[in-house]
Chains A and B, each alone.
Chain A
Amino acid sequence: MKKGSRIRFSGIVLFGLVMTLSLMMLPALSEARDIKVGVVDTYSGPAAVYGNDALNGFKLALEEINKQGVLGGKIEFTTRDEKFKVDVALAMAKELVMRENVDVLVGTINSGASLAISDGVAKAEKVPFIVWTAKDEKITGEMGHRYVFSTAENTAMAGKAGGVGLAKKPYKKYWIAGDDYAYGHAIADAAWRNLKALKPDVEKIGESWWKIGEPDLVPYLTSISAAKPDAVIFCTGGASMTNCLKALKATGFAAKTPSWIHTAIDHSVLKPLGAEAPEGVMGTIQYLFYYPETPENKSFVQAFEKAYGNPPGFPAFNAYITAQLIAGAYKKAGTIDKEKFIDAMEGLKVRSPVGGMVEMRACDHQAVYPMYFGTTKKLPQYDFVIATDIVTLTGDQVLPTCDEVLKTRKK
C-alpha cells in the first residue's frame, strides 16, 4: 500500500476502534440485565430447616418483585449448600463472586461462615453481603464494615429484649445454661448484661454449658434443679432447643422453674413437639405468624402456606425483608453498581410483611425491627403450643445505639 493510503487506512481503523470502545462504555443504564444474587446457606444437617425457610421467604418476595421487575430486569438467584462448614462456605462464596459474578451475596445461618465471608470475600472483593440468619453481633458490630449488612436479629438485640422482659419479673437468683459455643455465650452475656443493668439485685448462682447438639439434657436439668434457682436463662437454639424443651417437659422442670430462651417461641422448634411442648416457657423472637394479626401478616402467611405448605418462620421473615431491601436499593440507586447499591441501602426503609416499615440503619448496616416477648401456652385452636401475653419491644428499645456499636469497631 502507498504510504498515504496506509495512514488513511490506519486512521479509519483507529476511528472505528474509538467508536466501538465508546459504544461499549456507554452507561449500563441503556442495558437492561437481571440482577444476580448469590445465596450461601446450610441445606444439610440440623440447621437445614432454617436455610430452607429463609430461601422460601426470599423466593416468595421475589415472585412479587419480579412481576414489575427492577431496572428493566428481574432479580435472579443461585444457591450453594455449605453444609454448615466454614471452609466450604468460603469457597462457595468465592465461587459465586469470582465465577458467577453475582451482584449481591446473601446468607447464612453459620456465624463463623458469615464472619469469614464478610472479611474474606465481601470486604476483599468489595461485594455487598447481607447476612440474613446468623445472629452473631460481631457481624455488624466489632467486625462490621461497609460491605456487610444484617437483616438478622443479633445476640445484642436478643439479649436486650430478654433483659428488658425479665427485668419486669420478680426473679432474683438466676442460673445460666446453654450450648457451649459462641452463640450460646453471646446470648448469655448480652442477656445478663442488660438484665443486671435494669435490675441490679439479680444474682447469678451458677452456669452449665453442654456441647451443641447434646441429645440428653436430663442430667444437666436435674443438677440445675438441685441448686434451686428462681429462674433459668437457657442459651440454645434450633435442634438443641428442641432437645432442651423436651427435657424441660420430661423432667417437669418447666412446671417448677421459669425459663427464658431466645427463639423458644420459634415455630420450627415448637411444631414437632405438638401438644407436648412445655408451657410457661418465656421466649423472644422477631416474627410470629399468628401475631400481630394485621391484614399484611395474614396475607403473607396465606401466600407462604399456599406455596410451601407450612407457615413462615423468622428466617423467612428476615429473607423477605432482605429481598425487599435489595429491590428497593437498586431502584433507588438507578443502576446495577455495587457501590451505589450500598449507598442506597443505608437508611433505606422497606415494608415489613407484618405491616409497618423496617429500616436498614446507616451507621452499622443493621436492620431495625421490633422483637416480641411471650410465654408458651397450649390453646385449643392449634395443634401446637404458641406464645401468649406478648409484649412488643420496638427496634429502638432493643438495638444498641450507633455510638455503642461504632465504639466496638474502633478497638
Chain B
Amino acid sequence: MLKNFSLKSLFACLVLLVILLILPPILPRFYTYIFSSIFVTALLAMSLNMVVGHGGLFQFHHGAFYGVGAYAFALLLYKAHMPMWFGFIVAPVIAAFTGFVIGWFCVRSTSLYFGMLQISLGSLLWAIVFRWYSLTNGDDGIHGVPIPSSISSSSNAYYFILFFFVLCLVVMYLIHRSPFGMTLQAIRDNPARCSAVGINVRRHQLMAIVIATFFAGVAGVLFVVLEKSVFPDLLFWVLSLEIFIMCLLGGWFTFAGPILGAAITVALRTFAGIYTEYWTLILGVLLILLIFFLPEGVMGFFVRKFGKRGGEEDALGRGEHAEG
C-alpha cells in the first residue's frame, strides 16, 4: 500500500512538517492563529474531497456535518459539562451519524439530485439549529466554550490542531490507497461497470460519506478548540459552496490539492481584507483566471509540470469522468 509513496515525497513531507513545527516561536501570534485556521479549513476541504474528488459525488452541503460536529462538541462541553476527551470522540461520531442518515437518503439519487437533496436536508438542519434557541442560542451562537487552558493559547492550540490534522491526513491517505479507496475511485469513473462486476455501488458511496463526514466532524471540533465559539453560519450553504470551491481551486483529483485551496482562500480573505472591502471581487477574478489558465487547480498544475511527485496521482485522476 505504501510502496507507491516515493521516498522523495516522504522526505519533502517531513521537511514541511519540521518547518511547521518550529513556526510558532518565531512567528507573531496572529500568523500562528492563521496557520491554525488554515489547518482546520484544510482538513474540512480534504474531507470533502474524499467524496467529491475521489468519489465523484456532488456533496453540496458538506458544511452541515462540520457544523454538527462543532455544535455537538460545543454543547457537550458548554451545556452538559462533559470532559473534553469525551466531546472530542463523541462529536465526530455524531457528525458521522448525521452523514449516514442524510447520506442514506442522498445515495438513492445521482449527480445533481444528490447535491440538491443534500442542500435541502442540510438547510433543514441549519433551520433547526437556527430556530432552536433554548438548545443552540440560535444566531447568537454559543461563546466561551470551556476549552482546557493547556490548549487555549495560540501556540498550544496550533500544536494540538496540527497534530490531529496530520493524523487525519495520514489516515485519509491510507484509506485513499486502500482497496476501499481504489474501488471508490473506480466507481467515480464508471459506476455501471463497477456494479456489473458485483460491487455494491450505493453501499460503497455511503461508507465513503460516513468516513468523510466523520472527518468533517473532527474539523468542526478543531474549529471550536481554536475559536471557542459556534454559530449557525457553519451550517449555511454558502460555507459549503466555499469549501467546494477550495477543492476545485486546489485541484480536486490530487490528494493534497484541497489543502492548497484552503490555504489560498484563507490567506486571500485575511490579507486582501486588510486592504479592501472588495476582496470577493478579487477572489472571483482569481477564480476566473484559474479556470482559464490552471484548469486542474493549482496543485494539479504543479503535479503535471513537475512530474510524478507522489506517485499515482496522474494516472488515477485524469481522463474521462462518467457523465453525472
Q: Which residues of A contact B (CB under 8 A)?
A: 43-44, 79-81, 83, 85-88, 90-92, 94-95, 98-99, 111-112, 115-116, 118-120, 123-124, 136, 138, 143, 180-182, 185
Residues of A near B233 (CB, < 8 A) are 85-87, 112
Nearest 10 interchain pairs by C-beta: A98-B30, A81-B277, A119-B143, A99-B30, A86-B231, A119-B144, A116-B229, A182-B140, A43-B277, A112-B141
Find out whether the CB atom of A111 lies under 8 angstroms from the CB atom of B143.
Answer: no
Q: Taking A98-B28, A116-B231, A119-B228 as contacts, is the C-beta distance between A181 and B138 under 8 angstroms?
A: yes
Chain B residue with Cβ nearest A98:
B30
**Residues of B in contact, count (CB < 8 Å):** 30
Select which of A94, A124, A182 is within 8 A of B139 by beta carbon: A182
CB distance from B143 to the nearest CB of A (A): 4
A341 to B29, CA, bound (A): 24
Select which of B34, B140, B144, B274 is within 8 A of A136 by beta carbon: B140
A44 to B277, CA, bound (A): 8
A407 to B256, CA, bound (A): 52
B318 at the interface (CB under 8 A from A): no
Select which of B34, B227, B231, B273 is within 8 A of A81 by beta carbon: B273
Chain B residue with Cβ nearest A125:
B29
Find out whether the CB atom of B140 lies under 8 angstroms from the CB atom of A138.
Answer: yes
Find out whether the CB atom of B133 lies under 8 angstroms from the CB atom of A185.
Answer: yes
CB distance from B275 to the nearest CB of A (A): 10
* CB contacts between A and B, total, < 8 Å: 85
Find out whether the CB atom of A115 lies under 8 angstroms from the CB atom of B280.
Answer: no
Residues of A near B279 (CB, < 8 A) are 81
Find out whether the CB atom of A120 lies under 8 angstroms from the CB atom of B28.
Answer: no
Find out whether the CB atom of B228 lies under 8 angstroms from the CB atom of A120.
Answer: yes
A94 to B137, CA, bound (A): 23
Select which of B131, B227, B234, B274 is within 8 A of A120 by beta carbon: B227
Find out whether the CB atom of A91 lies under 8 angstroms from the CB atom of B140.
Answer: no
Find out whether the CB atom of B143 lies under 8 angstroms from the CB atom of A180.
Answer: no
Residues of B near A124 (CB, < 8 A) are 228
Q: Taking A88-B269, A120-B228 as contacts, is the C-beta distance between A98 and B140 under 8 angstroms?
A: no
A-B contacts besides A44-B277, A182-B137, 18 pairs, CB < 8 Å: A44-B280, A86-B233, A87-B231, A88-B269, A90-B227, A90-B229, A94-B30, A95-B270, A98-B33, A111-B139, A111-B140, A112-B139, A115-B143, A119-B144, A120-B143, A123-B144, A181-B139, A185-B138
Residues of A near B229 (CB, < 8 A) are 86, 90, 116, 119-120
Chain A residue with Cβ nearest B276:
A81
Find out whether the CB atom of A115 lies under 8 angstroms from the CB atom of B140.
Answer: yes
Residues of A near B141 (CB, < 8 A) are 86, 112, 115-116
Chain B residue with Cβ nearest A111:
B140
Residues of B near A99 (CB, < 8 A) are 28, 30
Residues of B near A92 (CB, < 8 A) are 270, 273
A136 to B140, CA, bound (A): 8
B37 at the interface (CB under 8 A from A): yes
A94 to B130, CA, bound (A): 25
Q: Taking A81-B273, A98-B30, A111-B140 as contacts, is the C-beta distance between A182 and B231 under 8 angstroms?
A: no
Residues of A near B231 (CB, < 8 A) are 86-87, 112, 116
Q: 1/0 contact trace for B229-249 toward A, CB 8 Å?
A: 101111000000000000000
A80 to B137, CA, bound (A): 26
Q: List 21 A-B contacts (CB under 8 A).
A: A44-B277, A81-B273, A86-B229, A87-B231, A88-B269, A91-B33, A94-B30, A95-B30, A98-B28, A98-B33, A112-B139, A115-B140, A116-B227, A120-B143, A120-B227, A120-B228, A136-B140, A138-B140, A143-B143, A180-B130, A182-B139
